[in-house]
């Protein structure tokens, strides 16, 4: 699908993308393979060159935030320290972008890594190593809690235990983490949102970012039930928004998990069609959190399931059309810059639109 780029000068900070090389792993999963595996099979290799091509496909993406995805772990370290390798790798990509060879463009200006918070106080040396590896770019961690009783919902790559965010071990690690003044990204599924509400209330001074609009489900046992579950999702979103320490990422809806669209990957839907599918979720989140606590995200390359990179951001721009210039600035760049402490990206000439 090829479209004219809407508002091509609007500065964008993409606050959620991955980098990985999954080619050795794609064939390792059993048949029939889960829809998520089928989706990433088309993007088994996604590093600087692929990111650069997507972020320079028409929209004015001035900077990005990398989100952990379990890639490039350091096999020479012990289990707890392996994720430091991912941050070391991504910091190299960020340095490549910051070299000036690619103009006023700062990929991975912020890096969100991973640490196992169930280590309790034992997570402290891991955090120290991650901070050092990020060379000033490390901004926080994500410890995903996505779980469902139906194993067909998530498929084999995901192994979070039930009730992770409520467990004593996780809470002990979270308390240790909260001392570092870093962000915490949370990925869990719509039926689990109550767990995040409880966590946010228990730690009111910890900045939490809810990924992917809370991941409404339209797959496996949830297929065809998006409409009937919408009100439960909406109530949870408004309850989370009552916690001033929580922000939300507006995206992830093109993942196979959501079924918005059900077909994929990349079936050629245009931005008008996708905006129509996503409007109830995006508008609810913006209404609940406000533009100052909401940010559009690509979740690439995972969201390639439903949209090319240019079409994805065109859909977001259609969804933000009614907002003022100041609100658009927040939704597309300002909120991400503030929460991930990368305001310097907005001082680049390319962000002066």
The long-range contacts involving 34-37, CB below 8 angstroms and separated by at least 24 positions, are 34/152, 34/154, 34/155, 34/156, 34/157, 34/256, 35/155, 35/219, 35/256, 35/257, 35/264, 35/305, 36/154, 36/155, 36/157, 36/255, 36/256, 36/257, 36/302, 37/155, 37/156, 37/157
Which residues, in sequence order, are bridge partners of residue 300? 17
Query: What are the pLDDT tens digits along the chain (353 aa)?
Result: 689 999 999 999 999 999 998 776 656 555 555 666 666 666 788 999 999 999 999 999 999 999 999 999 999 999 999 999 999 999 999 999 999 999 999 999 999 999 999 999 999 999 999 999 999 999 999 999 999 999 999 987 788 999 999 999 999 999 999 999 999 999 999 999 999 999 999 999 999 999 999 999 999 999 999 999 999 999 999 999 999 999 999 999 999 899 999 886 557 889 999 999 999 999 999 999 999 999 999 999 999 988 999 999 999 999 999 999 999 999 999 999 999 999 999 999 988 86
pTM, to two decimals: 0.95
d(CA 85, CA 63): 22
Map out the domains of the chain with their CATH numbers. Answer: 11-351 (3.20.20.140)
d(CA 22, CA 32): 18
Q: What is the DSSP letter of 300?
A: B
d(CA 67, CA 299): 9
With CA atoms as reference, report the closest residue to 68 among 123, 101, 110: 110
User: Residue 33, SS3?
Assistant: coil
């Amino acid at each position: 699908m090829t479209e004219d780029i809407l508002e091509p000068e609007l500065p964008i900070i993409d606050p959620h993308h991955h980098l990985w090389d999954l080619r050795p792993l794609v064939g390792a999963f059993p048949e029939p393979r889960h829809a998520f595996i089928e989706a990433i099979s088309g993007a088994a290799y996604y590093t600087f060159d692929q990111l650069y091509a997507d972020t320079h496909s028409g929209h004015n993406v001035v900077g990005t935030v990398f989100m952990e995805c379990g890639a490039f772990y350091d096999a020479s370290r012990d289990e707890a320290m392996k994720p430091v390798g991912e941050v070391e790798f991504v910091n190299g990509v960020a340095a490549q972008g910051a070299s000036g060879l690619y103009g006023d463009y700062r990929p991975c200006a912020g890096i969100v890594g991973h640490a196992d918070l169930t280590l309790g106080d034992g997570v402290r040396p891991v955090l120290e190593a991650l901070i050092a590896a990020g060379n000033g770019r490390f901004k926080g961690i994500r410890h995903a809690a996505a779980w469902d009783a139906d194993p067909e919902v998530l498929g084999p790559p995901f192994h979070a235990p039930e009730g992770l965010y409520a467990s004593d071990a996780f809470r002990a690690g979270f308390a240790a983490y909260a001392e570092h003044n870093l962000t915490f990204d949370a990925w869990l599924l719509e039926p689990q949102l109550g767990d995040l509400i409880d966590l946010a209330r228990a730690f009111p001074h910890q900045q939490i970012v809810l990924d992917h609009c809370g991941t409404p489900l339209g797959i496996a046992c949830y297929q065809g039930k998006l409409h009937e579950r919408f009100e439960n999702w909406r109530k949870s979103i408004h309850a989370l928004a009552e916690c001033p320490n929580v922000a939300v990422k507006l995206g992830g809806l093109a993942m196979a998990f959501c079924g918005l669209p059900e077909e994929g990957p990349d079936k050629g839907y245009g931005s008008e069609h996708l905006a129509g599918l996503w409007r109830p979720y995006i508008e609810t989140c913006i209404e609940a959190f406000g533009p100052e606590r909401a940010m559009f995200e690509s979740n690439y390359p995972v969201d390639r399931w439903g949209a090319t990179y240019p079409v994805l951001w065109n859909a977001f721009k259609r969804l933000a059309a009614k907002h003022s210039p100041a609100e658009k600035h927040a939704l597309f760049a300002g909120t991400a810059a503030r929460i991930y402490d990368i305001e310097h990206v907005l001082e680049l000439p390319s962000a002066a639109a």
